[in-house]
């Protein structure tokens, strides 16, 4: 009997059991996976994207006079990943939103919806909003600058609606983002040297066109 048992355990060993550890399911935390450095935002052309996540980083985000948005993103979107757009009418407060897969440009329809709006662009990665960039769209040309006042070291004036840049008499163009320009409310101040007695003409322009020249001041 003992011999038979030894033979059985030799050729038919007893099955042993042990606890089985299953791999943990990867969980995605809500919100953006990874922050990206502010240095990436500094290269943005029209809208420096706020700190969001590396997967949804956008640069060179801009909108043209036909309300078509263009942007650059190095992330290869997959699955349900997309860009979300929200168009908000600044005159009536109405709004609508939609999503689009990655493309070379994104028609928003704002030109048919309103004369003045904010277009918000957000990458949606793993169903999370990674960052939001707000752009202004308008089909309204700017009105004339007013209350122009020229001194020997600066020129001040009140800004028309939504200017992108100003052109002063003599042909010099000053972008609204020029470090020499200070904007407080609707008051604009430009540091520049002017001869005594000189008066300055100013006109503003935006995506809808150019406004009239101001009364010299």
- Per-residue pLDDT, 197: 78
Residue for token digits 């190095």?
74
- Give the tens place of pLDDT for each residue, 27-81: 233 334 333 333 333 333 345 444 445 555 788 888 998 999 998 887 788 888 8
- Give the tens place of pLDDT for each residue, 78-96: 888 899 999 999 889 899 9
120 pLDDT higher than 90: yes
State the pTM of this model.
0.65
User: Structural domains in the chain?
Assistant: 38-138 (2.60.40), 146-210 (no CATH)
Q: What is the rounded distance in angstroms from the CA atom of residue 106 to the CA atom of residue 71?
A: 9
Q: What is the rounded distance in angstroms from the CA atom of residue 79 to the CA atom of residue 98?
A: 17
- Per-residue pLDDT, 67: 92
Among 83, 88, 94, residue whose Cα is nearest residue 118: 88
Q: What is the rounded distance in angstroms from the CA atom of residue 167 to the CA atom of residue 83?
A: 36
Higher pLDDT pick, 16 / 80: 80
Whether 176 contacts 166, CB under 8 Å: yes
């Amino acid at each position: 009997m003992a011999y038979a048992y030894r033979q059985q355990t030799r050729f038919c060993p007893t099955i042993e059991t042990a606890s089985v550890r299953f791999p943990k399911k990867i969980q995605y935390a809500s919100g953006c996976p990874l922050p990206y450095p502010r240095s990436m935002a500094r290269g943005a052309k029209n809208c420096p994207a706020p700190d969001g996540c590396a997967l949804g980083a956008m640069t060179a985000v801009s909108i043209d006079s036909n309300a078509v948005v263009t942007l650059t993103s190095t992330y290869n979107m997959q699955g349900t990943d997309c860009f979300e757009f929200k168009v908000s009418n600044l005159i009536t407060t109405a709004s609508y939103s939609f999503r689009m897969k990655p493309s070379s440009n994104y028609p928003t329809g704002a030109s048919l919806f309103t004369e003045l709006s904010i277009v918000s662009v957000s990458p949606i990665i793993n169903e999370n909003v990674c960052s939001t960039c707000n752009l202004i769209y308008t089909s309204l040309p700017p009105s004339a600058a007013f209350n122009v006042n020229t001194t020997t070291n600066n020129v001040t004036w009140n800004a028309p609606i939504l200017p992108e840049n100003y052109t002063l008499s003599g042909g010099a163009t000053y972008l609204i983002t020029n470090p020499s320009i200070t904007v407080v409310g609707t008051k604009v101040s430009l540091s520049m040297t002017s001869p005594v007695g000189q008066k300055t003409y100013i006109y503003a322009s935006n995506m809808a066109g150019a406004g009239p020249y101001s009364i010299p001041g």
